[in-house]
Amino acid sequence: MGLEQNVNLMSMDQRKDKENIGRMEINNLKNSDEFRQMMQSVSNDQRNALEIKVTDLVNRLLSEQEERTRQIDDVRY
């Protein structure tokens, strides 16, 4: 093998090593308590935001229903 081929092979090996290190770092993050807590916090925040939006929607629907009921009563009398 020539020098250029050896350099290319070493470069490819180095890229593979960097990819493997990246994968290991990601796996370590997934297993860390800090990462779990962060993901739990994000999940709780999204759950709370969704609950607020649903509550607002239900309140608005109830308000509209009450308004329609008042309008029907006004038409009746």
Q: pTM, whole model, 2 decimals?
A: 0.51
pLDDT band at 1 (very low <50, low <70, confident <90, very high): low
Report the pLDDT averaged over residues 47-68: 95
The values of phi and psi at residue 48, to 5°, are: -65, -40
- Mean pLDDT computed over 29-43: 85
Residues 76 and 70: their CA atoms lie apart, in Å, by 10
Q: What is the DSSP letter of 32?
A: S
Give the percent of the chain with pLDDT over 90. Answer: 48
Q: Which of 16, 17, 13, 35 is nearest to 26 (CA)?
A: 35
- Of 12-16, 30-34, 44-48, highest mean pLDDT: 44-48
